[in-house]
Amino acid sequence: MVRKHREIGKAGWGYTATTSIIGFIYFFPVLWIILTAFKTRTDALATPPKLFFTPTLDNFTSVFYRASITTGSSQATDMGLYFFNSIFIAGTSVGLALIVGTLAAYAFSRFPLRGNDTYLFIILTTRMMPPIVVIIPIFLMFRLSGLAGTYWGIILLYTAFNIPFSIWLIKSFFDELNPEIEDAARMDGSTEGRVFFGFCIPQILAGLSATFVFGLILTWNEFLFALLLTGVETRTVPVAMARTLGGEVGVDYGLLAAIVTLFLIPIFFVTFLLQNQLLRGVTFGTVKK
């Protein structure tokens, strides 16, 4: 914590060491989960808990291949499909919400409707609402319309969940831009399309990626709706995770930890790559540079 003779807001390797220790303590539960993924069943539930052990990859194998009790041969599980489903569903719905949200946000920012603020408020309320309020009607609706168990059903639902904050976030980025420049471009004969794609979008690219990461984190682990509305073909990983909990022999912590670890990798890397933008996005764009 030596601060003398150094530029304000900068610190050296000593500071890195201190924060790393604190960071590791905070990270410890995650580390423990990752370690558990490499443990045998006995090691996972050893007393006292084991920090050092002979690692095994068995849990990772059994995520994708399950030994059949009757024949003894190994049989592929559907976990690969579930990983694909999770990536496909979360990616598509967050992307879709981003496109639809950007168009709406642009309109709310540049061509206000009558009752603009009321619309925005209603839109935000739908995001704040406890999911349990709508789960029964949505469940009935999906059954009646045949959307239950389809990709489109769950994708549209997640898109709807992501639209409110996408609009709010992206609108605040549009609000930061100077509309006079756009007007000048219009005077010079630019089409509306060129103003939008050529001037506005490039300037808020950072904001768009923040919205993407933020939405992805919130959608990635959604459980309740996925549980009720996905079928065998469209099941996502959080639902599959919960399904490993049941069973006569209790929770298989090693297997669960292996799934958690694998499932953490994609979201971790996306967040790492877009970290700086996330920092900006989380404040609803209220911090101006």
Partner 1 sequence: MANTAKTRSGFGAWLLDPKRRGALLVAPAITILFVMNIFPLMWSFGLSFFNYKASSLKVPTFKGFDNYGKVLTDERVWERFQTTAIIVSSSVIMQLIIGFLMAMMFAKVFPLRRIVLMLVLTPMMLSFVSVGVFFKLFYEPTFGIVSFVLNFFTEERFVLLGSPEGAILGIVIADAWMWSPFVMLLVLAGLVSVPKYLYEAAEIDRASKWRTFWTITFPYIKSLLLLAVLFRTIETFKLFDVVYIITDGGPGSTTETIAVYLYRTAFQFFKTSQSSALAYIVLFIVIVLTNLYLYAVNRREEEVE
Minimum distance, C-beta of residue 57 to partner 1, in the bound complex (Å): 20
Minimum distance, C-beta of residue 192 to partner 1, in the bound complex (Å): 4
Q: Does position 128 bind partner 1 by CB under 8 A? A: yes
Q: Does position 255 bind partner 1 by CB under 8 A? A: no
Q: Does position 12 bind partner 1 by CB under 8 A? A: yes
Pattern 27-66, partner 1, x by CB under 8 A? x-xx-xx--x--------xxxxx-----------------
Query: Which residue, 76 or 197, has its beta carbon nearer to partner 1?
Result: 197
Q: Does position 183 bind partner 1 by CB under 8 A? A: no
Q: Does position 104 bind partner 1 by CB under 8 A? A: yes
Nearest to 116, CA basis, from 168, 64, 185 = 168
Phi and psi at residue 247, to the nearest 5°: 130, 160
Residues 6+ apart with CB under 8 A from 208: 98, 102, 170, 173, 201
Query: Which residue, 19 or 68, has its beta carbon nearer to partner 1?
Result: 19
User: C-alpha distances in angstroms, 9 versus 2, 12, 280?
Assistant: 12, 10, 18
Angle value at C-alpha 225, between 243 and 32, nearest 5 degrees: 45
Among 126, 184, 198, 205, binds partner 1 (CB under 8 A): 126
Q: From CA 171, how far away is CA 177, in angstroms rounded?
A: 10
Among 60, 149, 238, 246, binds partner 1 (CB under 8 A): 238
Q: Does position 152 bind partner 1 by CB under 8 A? A: no
Q: Does position 184 bind partner 1 by CB under 8 A? A: no
Q: Does position 100 bind partner 1 by CB under 8 A? A: yes
Query: Which residue, 13 or 52, has its beta carbon nearer to partner 1?
Result: 13
Q: Does position 82 bind partner 1 by CB under 8 A? A: no
Q: From CA 284, how far away is CA 171, in angstroms rounded?
A: 9
Among 79, 90, 148, 157, binds partner 1 (CB under 8 A): 157
Q: Which amino acid is at 39?
A: K
Question: Residue 201 CB: number of other CB atoms within 10 A?
Answer: 14
Minimum distance, C-beta of residue 52 to partner 1, in the bound complex (Å): 14
Q: Does position 76 bind partner 1 by CB under 8 A? A: no
Q: Is 48 helix (H, G, I), strand (E, B) or coil?
A: coil
> DSSP string covering 63-120, please?
HHEEE-TTT-SEEE-SHHHHHHHHHHHHHHHHHHHHHHHHHHHHHHHHSPPTTHHHHH
Among 57, 67, 76, 129, binds partner 1 (CB under 8 A): 129
Residues 6+ apart with CB under 8 A from 98: 162, 166, 170, 208, 211, 212, 215
**Residues 204 to 233 in contact with partner 1, rule: CB under 8 A:** 217, 220-221, 223-224
Q: Does position 88 bind partner 1 by CB under 8 A? A: no
Number of residues lying near partner 1 (CB under 8 A): 98
Q: From CA 58, how far away is CA 51, in angstroms rounded?
A: 18
